[in-house]
Amino acid sequence: MAETVTAYVKNVRDTAKSFWEGMSVTLSYMFRKPITTQFPDRMGVPVQQTIPARYRGFLEVDMDICTACLACERACPISVINIDTIKGDGKTKPKLAMERFDIDIGKCMYCGLCVEPCPTGAIQHTREFEGATMNFNNLTLRFVPDALSPIAAYKVPKGSDAFPRRQLGEITRKLIKAWDAPPPPFPSEEEAKQDHGKPKATGLDPAAMGRTLAAKALQVKEDKPKLQKVIEEAMAGTDCGDCGYPDCFGYSNAIAQGKETSAEKCAPGGAESKKMLETILVSLKTGVVPGAPAEAPAAAPAAAPAAAEEKPKGPPLAQTLSKDELYKVVLDAMAGTDCGDCEYPDCDGYTKGIVYEGQTDLNRCAPGGEDTRTKLYEIMLGTKPPPK
Amino acid sequence: MQSFLDSLIKNAGHDPATWPWTQFVYLAGMGAAAFIVINFAAITAGIFSWAERRVAARMQSRVGPNRVGPGGFLQWVADAVKLLLKEDLVPAEADSVLFRAAPYFMMVGFACVFVTLPFSHRLIVADMNVGIFFIIAVTALIVVGIIMSGWSSNSKWSLFGAIRSAAQIISYEIPGGMALMVPVLLAGTLSTQGIIRAQGGLPWQWFIFDNPAATAAFFIFFISALAEGNRTPFDLPEAESELVSGYNTEYSGMRFSYFFLVEWGNMWVMSALATTMFLGGWQIPFLSADEFDKLTGGLAVLAEVGSLAIFAAKTLFFVFVVMWLRWTLPRIRVDQMMNMCWKYLVPISFAGVLFVAVWMLIVHAAPWLGVAMRVALTAGGGALLAMFVMRTLKNIRDTGDKFDFTSNW
């Protein structure tokens, strides 16, 4: 392979030149600030501030402006949000309050669908994301800290479109802080020995509960789906699958259908479930609740037809009251969250629609649920609502 | 070593020549020196392993190990402890005797270099009159260790790595050795201390700026040293993408750490050798070697420490350059590696030796020409350095960044 002198010299020159260029580039990087951020402990600013504003981190609910409309709960495709509401008389207790507002962050898939329908912007994604915890249960964010002191739902002032929200992230950060608390201590050997064999302090009397359930079961003996529900109440309800059925429904349904006769299969329920199930099975077989006062089984079947009978009633309120009085009554029956799910702007609009504009669909108040439906049918038609 | 001990004893008011058991004193002195030198080599290798990772990280816009000790400085201690505690595996089909012995051959070849490697004006284990020859000879022992480890591992990757390494080291020994002949010619001695004494403390007194052939020889020597030390861009024997890890693939724990100790320790060796041969070694500016000899008392100690600092500073700069090169250049191919050696470095180094011989005759006849050449080359070198600094600063400016060496450590 012949090589000309020019090519030879060019090779040497190219080598020198590429060294010159390359080494000046690497040296220039040496004297520049490294791009690495030293997360988590050597950050100039908290890491949350370095994340884009629209980052979808942990959810946060500002209970001060939550209307308890349940729009987020319904929007969640995987039931991460759980809200329990409680109704009051509006005088000593708030008309609508929340006993529970839990978001299971361990299950949340950060889709953001709950944020969209919120009428006041109470539920938002924060930029918090560090979810490591000693106890998996910690991952449920409880925005109502105490179920015994429910938080009143926010009543949206007429015509307002801006709501006083707390600083985003503040509330969730406080809840997460609690995660740092150590997990409950592991019981020592002595403690474990003491606990063993002691009846659990549940306050539940399995014998009495079994009799109650057995009585109920006798009432609905022929209605298999209802019977199944009664039987399922005697089980632990953990859907563990230890019984050989996929879940509690499977086991209880098998008993209801008469295909299963063993009462011993509910492992999490233990001795209590076994006792209750035995009571139910015996009573189903004999038609008498064992060990119960004599009149109980007799009274139960008597009560059943009585409850089923329709009580004669007067005409519905809609026909007896004036429109303006009716308006007040109907508005009272609504959930009062102004969520807008009824396709009216607020509760006021829906009420006016029903009372003055001849709206016949009484099923639209989503946050009120079955309760509101029953009331509305009672008021407007004087009947029970049809099943959904 | 002997003269150093003699002077120490004489300073204490005794005459070693009158003692009946001087030989034992010398023997003890040798043992102490060997202990110090081997530990020096091991510790500098460890520190370089940390320094290299920090340098590499910054050149890649990263941070690097910075958690163990101040600035991560104790990272190498942690790594050493880890390596010592790891299981020492010998593959089932390996030649276990050779496999176990190979790292020690490498260690011996590496540690012997320190015998004639100077540290300062007086600090040297033995100033042999064949110093350079000795260094070239003992470095070849490393090849034996590498071939042994590659063969005894009974693994194709190890064997490939070892063969490549042998080919590379033997090839590059020729241009490297010829390049070292240039300062030997200029100084008229093979002794390392003698070569340093023939230079001076100021840049134009260094051999690198003596004549164009010496400058070329410096670069050829540096490239050959990189190749002999298996450093990037000549790390073909350890090419991860082809050979897993080359000749040390099958090693683990303590024995593996010996290989890396040699690799990083070699950085000091090659840099110290470059400093000695071409960059005036420990020479202090405006203090000639003869004046240095005549100093006594505190001044002598001060000058000794100064010369040690100067030598270390120059060496550490070249250690940095070696790291810097590693993170700049990609690995070259085997054919490119051989091309470069036999077609470029060997002819140029031979021509350089001839040129220097002729040049010495010319300078002997007309000394002013030698002075003019030294000044011109030094000025040229200075100008290139300034241009390089400006180019680097321009690179930083062009990216819209600013000079920042202190933040995000």
Mean pLDDT (chain A) is 80
Q: Determine, for residues A35 and B61 on separate chains, whether the beta-carbon distance falls below 8 Å.
A: yes
CB–CB contacts below 8 A, A to B: 70
Q: Read out DSSP for B117-173? A: ---SSS--S---TTHHHHHHHHHHHHHHHHHHHHHHTT-HHHHHHHHHHHHHHHHHH
Percent of chain A with pLDDT over 70: 87
- DSSP bridge pairs for A96: A87
- pLDDT at site B381: 92
Distance between CA atoms of residues B192 and A196, nearest Å: 84
Is the CB of residue B317 less than 8 Å away from at least one CB of chain A?
no
Which member of A24, A31, A36 has the closest CB to residue B388? A24
From chain B residues 361-400, the ones with a CB under 8 A of any chain A CB are 388, 391-393, 395-396, 399
- Nearest CA distance, B350 vs chain A (angstrom): 16
Radius of gyration (C-alpha) of chain B in whole angstroms: 23
Task: Indicate the angle between helix axes B156-187 and B253-278, nearest 10 degrees.
Answer: 20
Distance between CA atoms of residues A24 and B227, nearest Å: 22
- pLDDT at site A313: 57
Measured between alpha carbons, how far is residue B14 from residues A105, A131, B8, B24, B29 in Å? 84, 75, 9, 16, 16
Within 8 A of B325 by CB-CB distance, chain A residues are 23
Establish whether the linkage from the previous residue to A145 is cis, with ω within 30° of 0. Answer: no
Q: Which of B178, B184, B185, B190 is nearest to B350 (CA)?
A: B178
Is the CB of residue A4 less than 8 Å away from at least one CB of chain B?
no
- Contacting residues for B346 by C-beta, under 8 A, at least 6 apart: B174, B175, B178
Residues in chain A: 388
**What does DSSP assign to residue B296?**
-
- pLDDT at site B386: 94
Best residue in B226, B329, B395 for a mutation probing chain A (most A CBs within 10 Å): B395
Q: Is the pLDDT of residue A73 over 60?
A: yes
From chain A residues 28-67, the ones with a CB under 8 A of any chain B CB are 28-36, 38
User: Residue A23: how many CA atoms within 13 Å on its side-chain side?
Assistant: 18
Q: Determine, for residues B396 and A31 on separate chains, whether the beta-carbon distance falls below 8 Å.
A: yes
Distance between CA atoms of residues A150 and A172, nearest Å: 19
Establish whether the linkage from the previous residue to A40 is cis, with ω within 30° of 0. Answer: yes
Residue holding tokens 């606990």?
A: A195
Is residue B109 within 8 Å of B229, Cβ to Cβ? no
Task: Please state which CATH class domain A317-380 belongs to.
Answer: mainly alpha
pLDDT 10s digits, A309-348: 444 556 777 777 788 888 888 888 887 787 878 888 888 8
Q: Is the pLDDT of residue A308 over 50?
A: no
Residue holding tokens 């000394």?
A: B367
Residue A238: pLDDT band (50, 70, 90) is confident
- pLDDT at site A317: 77
Distance between CA atoms of residues B46 and B77, nearest Å: 7
Instruction: Write out the two tokens for A250.
Output: 């499977």
- Contacting residues for B314 by C-beta, under 8 A, at least 6 apart: B271, B275, B279, B280, B281
Q: Determine, for residues B392 and A35 on separate chains, whether the beta-carbon distance falls below 8 Å.
A: no
Instruction: Determine if residue A339 is left, alpha or beta; phi over 0 gives left, psi from -120 to 50 gives alpha, anything else beta.
Output: alpha
Within 8 A of B329 by CB-CB distance, chain A residues are 19, 22
Distance between CA atoms of residues B401 and B273, nearest Å: 37
Is the CB of residue A2 less than 8 Å away from at least one CB of chain B?
no
- pLDDT at site A304: 46
Residue A298: pLDDT band (50, 70, 90) is very low
Q: Determine, for residues B61 and A26 on separate chains, whether the beta-carbon distance falls below 8 Å.
A: no
Residue holding tokens 């010496």?
A: B214
Q: Is the pLDDT of residue A118 over 70?
A: yes
Instruction: Write out the two tokens for A136.
Output: 């998996």
* Secondary structure of chain A as H, E, C letters: CCCCHHHHHHHHHHHHHHHHHHHHHHHHHHCCCCCCCECCCECCCCHHHHCCCCCCCCEEECHHHCCCCCHHHHHCCCCCEEEEEEECCCCCCCCEEEEEEEEECCCCCCCCCCCCCCCCCCEEECCCCCCCCCCHHHHEEECCCCCCCCEECCCCCCCCCCCCCCCCCHHHHHHHHHHHCCCCCCCCHHHHHHHCCCCCCCCCCHHHHHHHHHHHHHHCCCCHHHHHHHHHHCCCCCCCCCCCCCCHHHHHHHHHCCCCCCCCCCCCCHHHHHHHHHHHHHHHHHCCCCCCCCHHHHHHHHHHHHHHCCCCCCCCHHHHCCHHHHHHHHHHHCCCCCCCCCCCCCHHHHHHHHHCCCCCCCCCCCCCHHHHHHHHHHHHCCCCCCCC
Is residue A109 within 8 Å of A49, Cβ to Cβ? no
Phi, psi (deg, nearest 5) at residue B258: -60, -45
Kindly identify which residue of chain A lies nearest to residue B348, measuring between CA atoms. A12
Within 8 A of B391 by CB-CB distance, chain A residues are 20, 24
Helix (H, G, I), strand (E, B) or coil at B60: coil
- Domains of chain A, by residue range, sit at 59-179, 206-303, 317-380
Best residue in B325, B391, B404 for a mutation probing chain A (most A CBs within 10 Å): B391
- Contacting residues for A55 by C-beta, under 8 A, at least 6 apart: A125, A127, A129
Which member of A12, A23, A35 has the closest CB to residue B324? A23
- pLDDT at site A306: 45
Task: Report which of residues A233 and B177 the model is more confident about.
Answer: B177
Q: Is the pLDDT of residue A80 over 60?
A: yes
- pLDDT at site A161: 79
Which member of B55, B63, B395 has the closest CB to residue A28? B395
- Contacting residues for A292 by C-beta, under 8 A, at least 6 apart: A211, A214, A215
| pTM to 2 decimal places | 0.68
- pLDDT at site A255: 84
- How many H helices and E strands in chain B? 15, 0
Helix (H, G, I), strand (E, B) or coil at B108: helix
A68: buried, middle or exposed (CB in 10 Å: 19+, 13-18, 0-12)? buried
- Contacting residues for B285 by C-beta, under 8 A, at least 6 apart: B200, B201, B202
Best residue in B396, B399, B409 for a mutation probing chain A (most A CBs within 10 Å): B396
Is residue A281 within 8 Å of A273, Cβ to Cβ? no
pLDDT 10s digits, A158-215: 878 788 888 888 888 888 877 776 666 676 777 777 665 554 445 567 777 777 888 8
Kindly identify which residue of chain B lies nearest to residue A33, measuring between CA atoms. B404
Q: Residues B167-184, buried b or exposed e (16+ Cβ, 10 A)?
A: bbbebbbbbbbbbbbbbb
Q: What is the pLDDT along chain B (409 residues), one digit of tens a residue?
A: 666 677 777 777 677 667 777 778 778 878 888 888 888 888 998 899 899 999 899 889 888 888 888 888 898 899 889 888 988 888 888 888 888 888 888 888 888 888 888 888 878 877 888 889 998 888 888 888 888 888 888 888 888 888 888 888 888 989 999 999 999 999 888 988 889 888 888 888 888 888 899 999 999 999 999 888 888 788 877 777 777 777 888 888 888 888 888 888 888 999 999 999 999 888 888 888 788 778 777 788 888 888 899 999 999 999 999 999 988 988 888 888 888 899 899 999 999 999 999 999 998 898 898 889 889 999 999 999 999 999 988 888 888 777 777 777 7
User: Residue B367: how many CA atoms within 13 Å on its side-chain side?
Assistant: 0
Distance between CA atoms of residues A142 and A8, nearest Å: 77
Kindly identify which residue of chain B lies nearest to residue A2, measuring between CA atoms. B343
Instruction: Determine if residue B330 is left, alpha or beta; phi over 0 gives left, psi from -120 to 50 gives alpha, anything else beta.
Output: beta
Which member of A27, A32, A34 has the closest CB to residue B57? A34
Cα A293 to its chain centre, rounded Å, is 40
Distance between CA atoms of residues A65 and A58, nearest Å: 18
Instruction: Taking residues A267-292, report their average pLDDT.
Output: 78
Q: Which of B184, B228, B207, B40 is nearest to B125 (CA)?
A: B40
- Nearest CA distance, A182 vs chain B (angstrom): 27
Is the CB of residue A167 less than 8 Å away from at least one CB of chain B?
no
Which member of B59, B329, B404 has the closest CB to residue A33? B404
Q: Is the pLDDT of residue A372 over 50?
A: yes
pLDDT 10s digits, B55-69: 899 889 888 888 888
Kindly identify which residue of chain A lies nearest to residue B388, measuring between CA atoms. A24
Is the CB of residue B333 less than 8 Å away from at least one CB of chain A?
no
Distance between CA atoms of residues A286 and A215, nearest Å: 12
Q: Is the pLDDT of residue A301 over 50?
A: no
- Nearest CA distance, B170 vs chain A (angstrom): 23
- pLDDT at site B26: 78
- Contacting residues for B276 by C-beta, under 8 A, at least 6 apart: B117, B118, B192, B195, B196
Distance between CA atoms of residues A301 and A296, nearest Å: 9
- pLDDT at site A310: 47
Residue A219: pLDDT band (50, 70, 90) is confident
- pLDDT at site A299: 44
Which member of A3, A19, A32 has the closest CB to residue B401? A32
Lowest mean pLDDT among A289-303, A365-379, B158-172: A289-303
Q: Determine, for residues B408 and A11 on separate chains, whether the beta-carbon distance falls below 8 Å.
A: no
- pLDDT at site B352: 92
Q: Which helix (H) or strand (E) holds B312?
A: helix B297-326
Query: Residue A51, Cβ neighbours under 10 Å: how many?
Result: 14
Residue holding tokens 């949206």?
A: A156
Within 8 A of A23 by CB-CB distance, chain B residues are 324-325, 328, 388
Measured between alpha carbons, how far is residue B281 from residues A128, B113, B214 in Å? 59, 16, 16
